[in-house]
Amino acid sequence: MKQKRRLSTQLSAGIALLVLTTIFIISLAANLCINYQFEKYMEAQQKNRSKDIAEGLSRQYDADADEWNLDYIHGYGMYALNEGYILKVYDKNHNMVWDAENHDMTLCHQVMENIRLRMEENRPQLEGDFVTCRYDLEQSGERIGYAEVSYYSPYYMDEDDFHFLESLNQILFVIGILSIAGAVAAGMFLARRITKPITKTMELTREISEGNYTMRFESDIRTKELQDLTQSINHMANALEEQETLRKRLTTDVAHELRTPLTNVSTHLEMMIEGVWEPTPERLQNCYDEIGRITGLVSDLERLRQIESENLELKKEPVNLFSLAQEVCALFEAELGEKHLSCQVEGEAVLVDGDKQRLQQVVVNLLSNAVKFTGVGGRIHILVRNREEGAALVIEDNGIGIPKEDLPLIFERFYRTDYSRSRKSGGAGIGLTIAKAIAQAHGGSLTVESEEGKGSRFTLLL
Ligand code: ADP
């Protein structure tokens, strides 16, 4: 298996490489530009200088005496020779006035050789050589002679010039090294900033996977994607924590719900076995009822599991909600009659695409609650309508209602209001959970509005 490289290393290396390439290109370009510009400058400078020298010579002629100031020309010529310019001065009749080579041939050759060697060593590609320029010497517009100035063309540089260029390149090199060091440091800092939350997220997810659901990511991250990542992890931890609480509560609730009827049955049977109690049909009926409650609870749980399992299969068909409500109402005829309750179904025929049996289960659960929690002589109203947001089935009663604080909880598993607990209404608090799960499996919703003492209204929207 290939060895995995750390993200921080890859990031720092990547950034460093990028900066390195950029600096290399910039340095190279700067170096070439500076050299080129400097050479151009030297070339122009040399041309100007040779012209200046010629001009200086023209002032050393005394027209009245028809004489050249030879002393000065000599000093001037030697000075120029030291700079790399070899002078020859002629008068208007082409007679030589002064010639550097004539004057000191050895020195001239030495100067020329030095320049040639230096340039060939430092600029071998230049292929330069000595050229001679001729300048007319004039005084008050009149030609008095001419000068020949020889110098190394296209340009030549002395030790100082080369030294100057070298220093410039060294400065560039130092800047480059400093920038690379800076880039590596910045890269490492940036990489750390990016990888730190990722590493922390990794640790957090490991903790969560080990069952520590209370862990949360608390840090101020300024990178959007990383913040989204940590937020998703926090959401996941939240969801898992909720699931865990629910799972624990479910186990406790099931145990609690089973304990009461089981204790009842076992004490009843114990008393009868020990002969303390006569096994009267009434007592046996009691035991039977309790066992019925247990069976009911188990089948409720089974149904809930089925419905809450992720791929609840719905056998969909066109269902008329109005006739469905009427059918369910008819099923409750006996209970309704017992409590002298009226049940009216109103509205219109509304067709939905759904699982008829399961939708019937919803209405049964809602209606059985309405019957349970409405006092003798009360009224139950079922209204079926096509609304803008979908098909609606509303079951309204004028029963005991639900306390405000219980409203958000009644759809939870095993949740019952205090009243319903003390009244032993028989339900285990699963009916509404099942109804809501079925509504949601159909892509719909089940909501409640209620006022204590006045009644409740459950709305199924599909
Ligand atoms: P149960 O099996 O106890 O009826 P449900 O999940 O169907 O469980 O209902 C949960 C609780 O909501 C009930 O115990 C009751 O306290 C309250 N409730 C449900 N429907 C009504 C209603 N129509 N009127 C008053 N309270 C109701």
pLDDT tens-digit series, residues 195-243: 888 888 888 889 888 888 887 877 777 778 888 888 888 888 888 887 8
pLDDT score at 313: 77
The pTM of the whole model exceeds 0.75: no
Q: Which of 246-260, 268-282, 400-414 shows the lowest mean pLDDT across its residues?
A: 246-260
Atom of ligand 1 nearest to the CA of 399: 24
Task: Say how far apart CA 149 and CA 56 lie, in whole Å.
Answer: 12
Q: By the 8 A CB rule, do 169 and 122 touch? A: no
Mean per-residue pLDDT, 45-65: 87
Q: Which of 60-64, 341-345, 458-462 shows the lowest mean pLDDT across its residues?
A: 60-64
More confident residue, 320 or 418: 320
Q: Which residues contact 20 (CB under 8 A, 6 or more apart)?
A: 180, 183
Residue type, 365: N
Q: How far is the CA of 331 from the centre of ligand 1 (A)?
A: 19
Task: Say how far apart CA 326 and CA 346 lie, in whole Å.
Answer: 9
Mean per-residue pLDDT, 146-165: 87
The answer on pLDDT for 56 being more than 80 is: yes
Kindly state the DSSP code that residue 399 receives in the 8-state scheme: S
Atom of ligand 1 nearest to the CA of 432: 6
Q: What is the pLDDT of residues 312-368, one digit of tens each?
A: 678 899 999 999 999 999 999 888 999 999 999 999 999 999 999 899 989 999 999
pLDDT score at 83: 87
How many beta carbons lie within 10 A of that of residue 301, not counting itself? 18
Mean per-residue pLDDT, 3-30: 81
pLDDT score at 379: 94
Secondary structure of residue 94 in the 3-state scheme: coil
Q: How far is the CA of 421 from the centre of ligand 1 (A)?
A: 10
pLDDT score at 8: 76
Q: How far is the CA of 294 from the centre of ligand 1 (A)?
A: 18
Q: Which two tokens stand for residue 110?
A: 């030495």
Q: How far is the CA of 319 from the centre of ligand 1 (A)?
A: 26
Task: Say how far apart CA 446 and CA 326 lie, in whole Å.
Answer: 19
Secondary structure of residue 393 in the 3-state scheme: strand
- What's the mean pLDDT when you consider all of the chain? 86
Percent of the chain with pLDDT over 70: 96
Percent of the chain with pLDDT over 90: 29
Return the H-helix or E-strand segment holding 44: helix 7-58
CA distances from residue 292 to 279, 287, 299, 319 in whole angstroms, order as listed: 18, 8, 10, 32
Query: What residue owns the CA closest to ligand 1's atom 14?
Result: 416
pLDDT score at 382: 95
The answer on pLDDT for 425 being more than 70 is: no
pLDDT band at 421 (very low <50, low <70, confident <90, very high): low
Q: How far is the CA of 315 from the centre of ligand 1 (A)?
A: 27
Q: By the 8 A CB rule, do 50 and 83 touch? A: no
Closest Cα to residue 375, out of 356, 393, 398? Answer: 398
Per-residue exposure over 452-461, b if at least 16 CB sit within 10 Å of its own CB, e if not: beebbbbbbb
Query: What residue owns the CA closest to ligand 1's atom 2?
Result: 427
How far does CA 366 lie from the centroid of its chain? 47
Atom of ligand 1 nearest to the CA of 415: 10
More confident residue, 395 or 433: 395
Atom of ligand 1 nearest to the CA of 429: 8
Q: Is the CB of 402 under 6 A from ligand 1?
A: yes
pLDDT score at 347: 94
Closest Cα to residue 397, out of 344, 457, 437? Answer: 457
Closest Cα to residue 446, out of 395, 401, 404, 397? Answer: 395
Vertex 458: Cα angle to 457 and 462 (nearest 5): 140
Q: Is the CB of 428 under 6 A from ligand 1?
A: yes
Return the H-helix or E-strand segment holding 370: helix 356-372
In degrees and rounded to multiples of 5, residue 318 shows phi and psi of: -70, 125
pLDDT score at 419: 59
pLDDT band at 89 (very low <50, low <70, confident <90, very high): very high
Q: Is the CB of 415 under 6 A from ligand 1?
A: yes
Task: Say how far apart CA 398 and CA 392 lie, in whole Å.
Answer: 20
Asked if residue 261 has a cis previous peptide bond (ω within 30° of 0), the answer is no
pLDDT score at 196: 83
Q: Is the CB of 397 under 6 A from ligand 1?
A: yes
Residue type, 436: K
Task: Say how far apart CA 392 and CA 27 lie, in whole Å.
Answer: 76
Q: 450: which strand partners?
A: 456
Q: Which two tokens stand for residue 429?
A: 């608090």
The preferred substitution site among 369, 397, 434, 450 for testing ligand 1, maximizing ligand atoms within 8 Å of CB, is 369
Q: Is the CB of 399 under 6 A from ligand 1?
A: yes
Mean per-residue pLDDT, 293-312: 78
* 66 Rama sector, left if φ>0, alpha if ψ -120 to 50, beta otherwise: left
Task: Say how far apart CA 376 and CA 342 lie, in whole Å.
Answer: 10
Q: How far is the CA of 125 from the centre of ligand 1 (A)?
A: 100
Helices and strands of the chain, counted as H and E runs: 12, 13
pLDDT score at 450: 93
E strands within 197-309? Answer: none
pLDDT score at 120: 87
The answer on pLDDT for 383 being more than 80 is: yes
Q: Which of 8-22, 70-84, 137-151, 386-400 shows the lowest mean pLDDT across its residues?
A: 8-22
The answer on pLDDT for 380 being more than 90 is: yes
Q: Which two tokens stand for residue 250?
A: 């479910």
pLDDT band at 311 (very low <50, low <70, confident <90, very high): low
Q: Is the CB of 431 under 6 A from ligand 1?
A: yes
The answer on pLDDT for 36 being more than 70 is: yes
pLDDT score at 259: 86
Q: Is the CB of 430 under 6 A from ligand 1?
A: yes
